[in-house]
Amino acid sequence: MTWSATARGAHQPDNTAFTQQRLPAWQPLLSASITLPLFFCAGLAFIGLGLGLYYSSNAIKELGYDYTGNPGTGDCSLCGVADQDRAPPPSCRCAWNFSLPELFQGPVYLYYELTKFYQNNRRYGVSRDDAQLSGLQSALRHPVNECFPYQFSAKGVPIAPCGAIANSLFNDTFTLWHQRLPGGPYVEVPLDRTGIAWWTDYHIKFHNPPLVNGSLALAFKGTTRPPNWPVPVYQLSPDPNNTGFINQDFVVWMRTAALPWFRKLYARIRQGNYSAGLPRGNYRVNITYNYPVRAFDGHKRIILSNISWMGGKNPFLGIAYLVVGSLCILTGFVMLVVYIRYQDQNDEAEDQE
């Protein structure tokens, strides 16, 4: 008898909260009474943040100059005309003169900007060998197939660094000169060319191959430079910490941009007298014009900008916050009105019933 009783109980489902689908649960409802305060609060918060962001972005100063050299656009047009053929074009020099009426708050960053340059083209983007760039010996001699047609030179020598990205390394150079007093001499403003690449890229991801007899050149023996480069990779800079694959310009370039217009950090101005910014006065940027962009209707710009905690000058965030915030409040009001009127109608309807 007892046995049958337990047997019967054995079939009985467990009476637990889970099996009976009555786990304790919070059951929120998106009713107006909850969403209305939420909307107002969110709206106010967003407007507040928006204002903050907007002013923070507005405080950032940006100064730019298009030196593509389209005919009639100034000093660089001579160079621009020369740049009709494919790379490498003949070297050409031009300058950008500007004056600052007041202190350009530091630290100041020097960017170059390219447009209509598709670093995000897939064929371009895959044309690199990360193993080679990390200094792996085997990869140095045998670049991956993605690098083709910049994998081996015509003679069959492996190219280091291989691939289209490396081959198209931006090679214009800039120097900044400051004229303290009108008519005075131009003094070169020191440009800090370090710290422009991501720390991890520079220190970990990119490595030179191990030195042979203390010489980087020997380490790269048996490879050749990319066809567009005037110098091999180990001569990118005289500074041994900034040459080869860990040349910072190179590292910066190798981080391909998301959109067909992009800026890349060229240098930081933070040394000597210029650590607080660029003082007032006349300035000149001497440009070595090497990089051809007119072939694909591109533009080159040079930009001086200072930076806040949120980066460069971009009013989008502030405006967007303001818009969304106002929308929230507006919707809140509409809803409030609707809610009240609807409530009245409801009451009436109930009264009629």
Least separation in angstroms between residue 77's CB and other proteins is 20
Strand boundaries in 191-316, DSSP class E:
261-269, 277-278, 281-289, 300-306
Regarding 262 and contact with other proteins (CB under 8 A), the answer is yes
Kindly state the helix (H) or strand (E) to which residue 131 belongs, with its residue range. Answer: helix 130-133
Residue in 78, 95, 100, 317 binding other proteins, rule: CB under 8 A: 317
CA distances from 74 to 112, 286, 300 (A): 18, 14, 13
Enumerate residues 208-247 that contact other proteins by CB under 8 A: none
Residue in 65, 76, 104, 119 binding other proteins, rule: CB under 8 A: 119
Least separation in angstroms between residue 50's CB and other proteins is 9
Residue in 2, 31, 138, 213 binding other proteins, rule: CB under 8 A: 31
CA 212 to chain CA mean position, Å: 35
Least separation in angstroms between residue 206's CB and other proteins is 10
Residue in 205, 217, 326, 336 binding other proteins, rule: CB under 8 A: 205
Size of the site for other proteins (CB under 8 A): 101
**Considering beta carbons, is residue 206 or 220 the nearer one to other proteins?**
206
Least separation in angstroms between residue 221's CB and other proteins is 25
SS3 state at 146: helix
Least separation in angstroms between residue 268's CB and other proteins is 7
Burial 290-320 (b: 16+ CB within 10 A, else e): bbbbbeeebbbbbbbbbeeeeeebeeebbee
Regarding 3 and contact with other proteins (CB under 8 A), the answer is no
Quick note: the x/- pattern for other proteins over 163-202, rule CB under 8 A, is -x--xx--------------------------xxxx-xx-
Dist CA 225 CA 333 (whole Å): 66
CA 266 to chain CA mean position, Å: 13
Regarding 257 and contact with other proteins (CB under 8 A), the answer is yes
Residue in 103, 240, 337, 342 binding other proteins, rule: CB under 8 A: 342
Dist CA 291 CA 172 (whole Å): 6
Residue type, 59: A
Quick note: the x/- pattern for other proteins over 128-167, rule CB under 8 A, is --xx--x---------x---xx--------------x--x
Enumerate residues 51-90 that contact other proteins by CB under 8 A: 53, 62, 86-87
Residue in 2, 16, 138, 213 binding other proteins, rule: CB under 8 A: 16
96: β partners? 285
Dist CA 185 CA 203 (whole Å): 39
**Considering beta carbons, is residue 67 or 75 the nearer one to other proteins?**
67
66: β partners? 301
Residue in 183, 272, 309, 352 binding other proteins, rule: CB under 8 A: 309
Kindly state the helix (H) or strand (E) to which residue 113 belongs, with its residue range. Answer: strand 108-115
Cβ-Cβ contacts under 8 Å for 305 (sequence gap 6 or more): 60, 61, 62, 63, 108, 109, 111, 312, 313
